[in-house]
Amino acid sequence: MNITPLNSINETKRLTSLGHTKVYELIGNGTLDARKLGSKTLITGESLMAFVAGLPAAPIGAKHKATAAAEVGAVV
């Protein structure tokens, strides 16, 4: 991830794989810190890193596979 001190909305969307609406939702609820430079909205790298660091770990491995299989009714 190549996060800079200030990131455009499009850069933020690319870095996080989030859509336009979700990025603005995160700005609105204070999760992402937005600054204005003229008409351009920029997201601080610090808030973007804090957002990513606060995401839960993805469950990987046999336990996850068994849970995913059970959700779709497959036999493991």
Query: Over its length of 76 residues, how does the chain's per-residue pLDDT go in tens digits?
Result: 689 999 999 999 999 999 999 999 999 999 999 999 999 999 999 999 999 999 999 888 766 566 655 666 555 4
Question: What pLDDT is recorded for position 63?
Answer: 65
Q: What is the pLDDT of residue 60?
A: 80
Six token digits for residue 27: 């700005």
Can you give the pTM of this predicted structure?
0.74
The pLDDT value given to residue 68: 59
